[in-house]
Amino acid sequence: MTAILALLSNWRVILGLGIAGAVLGFGLYVWHLRDEVASQKARADLAEASLSQQIQVNQQNLQQLALMRAADAAALDAMTKQRDAVAARTALTVQLKGKTSHVSKANDGPVAPVLRDVLDGLRGPAATAAAH
């Protein structure tokens, strides 16, 4: 016990042990920080790889969206042209029907069966069945 008391009374030994403890604690803290930095770097690398993959998928999605929009615009254009063509045919049909429905008896007469069938065919299946 006196040896311990003698050791504790020597301030140089106590100071040396304190410094050694501080250096050991600092070394352990630096070791911990290195592990933490390596762990954070690994997480950052993983996040960067994930972000890169998501950017690539986003670019593919944008390309697909552009193709779909182009196809949509082409389909809309085709439908608009079809609608306009139907409207033009309908207007012409109405005009022709108007001309033929107001013809005087002097200008009206028998029609060749072939021409009658063609005209009935233009009117539709219901008109064809009613005419025969």
Q: What is the rounded radius of gyration, in angstroms, for the C-alpha atoms of the chain?
A: 48
pLDDT single digits (tens) 50-107: 999 999 999 999 999 999 999 999 999 999 999 999 999 999 888 888 877 777 777 7
User: What are the residues whose beta carbons fall under 8 Å from the beta carbon of 14, sequence distance 6 or more?
Assistant: 8
Residue 66: inside a domain, yes or no?
Answer: yes
pLDDT single digits (tens) 99-130: 777 777 777 777 777 887 888 888 776 555 55
Alpha helix stretches (DSSP H) within 1-132 = 2-9, 11-101, 113-123, 125-131
Q: How far apart are CA 106 and CA 65, in angstroms?
A: 64
User: What are the residues whose beta carbons fall under 8 Å from the beta carbon of 4, sequence distance 6 or more?
Assistant: none
* pLDDT on residue 94: 87
Residue 35: inside a domain, yes or no?
Answer: no
Residue 52: inside a domain, yes or no?
Answer: yes
> CA end-to-end span of the chain, whole Å?
134
pTM for this predicted structure:
0.48
Count structural domains, the chain: 1
* pLDDT on residue 8: 66
Residue 125: inside a domain, yes or no?
Answer: no
pLDDT single digits (tens) 8-50: 678 787 888 899 999 999 999 999 999 999 999 999 999 999 9
* pLDDT on residue 49: 94
Residue 28: inside a domain, yes or no?
Answer: no
User: What are the residues whose beta carbons fall under 8 Å from the beta carbon of 13, sequence distance 6 or more?
Assistant: 7
Q: Dig out the tokens for 30 from the structure.
A: 């630096």
* Residue 50 domain boundaries: 46-85
Residue 53: inside a domain, yes or no?
Answer: yes
Residue 124: inside a domain, yes or no?
Answer: no
Residue 11: inside a domain, yes or no?
Answer: no
User: Please, which pLDDT band fits residue 131 given cuts at 50, 70 and 90?
Assistant: low
